[in-house]
Amino acid sequence: MRSLLSRALRFFGLLKFDLLVESTSTLPGDAILPDGKMFVVRDGDIEKWACFTCPGGCGKIINLSLNPARRPRWGVVTDFWRRPTVQPSVHQLNACGCHFWVKQGCIDWCKDGRPMGVKRD
């Protein structure tokens, strides 16, 4: 329900985000992930993965490990509107090579981290 409200607020220009968090208990795997969603995979109280489609346009699914026992690991904090903030930054090592932060649901490109074909705001 709340993500509907977030979307409505974005429609009216009152809220800015590229990604909203959706909780799930299973890894989405290679399924096509809908644009604009970050799936946070939980096992009970433990957050395991954050999965979303690469914003660089290559279509690859990025799976960030949230497991504290693994390296590298990321942390995701979700705000009231379900917008994720990810620490540290995400750097794709494939041909796409994009490098960005996710801050309050918005993709924040690093210098030289924006692939060709992604428009500037």
Pair of tokens at residue 81? 């509107």
- In whole angstroms, give the CA distance from residue 16 to residue 59: 22
Q: How far is the CB of 45 from Zn ion (least distance, A)?
A: 31
Number of chain positions touching Zn ion (CB under 5 A): 5
- In whole angstroms, give the CA distance from residue 86 to residue 40: 12
Site for Zn ion in 81-110 (CB under 5 A): 96, 98
67 backbone dihedrals φ, ψ, rounded to 5°:
-70, 120
Whichever of 13 and 117 has its CB closer to Zn ion, that residue is: 117
Q: How far is the CB of 46 from Zn ion (least distance, A)?
A: 28
Query: How much is the CA Rg of the chain, to the nearest whole Å?
Result: 14
Whichever of 7 and 97 has its CB closer to Zn ion, that residue is: 97
Whichever of 9 and 57 has its CB closer to Zn ion, that residue is: 57
Site for Zn ion in 46-65 (CB under 5 A): 54, 56, 58
Measured at the CA of 65, the angle between CA 103 and CA 20, to 5 degrees, comes to 35
Binding site for Zn ion (CB under 5 A): 54, 56, 58, 96, 98
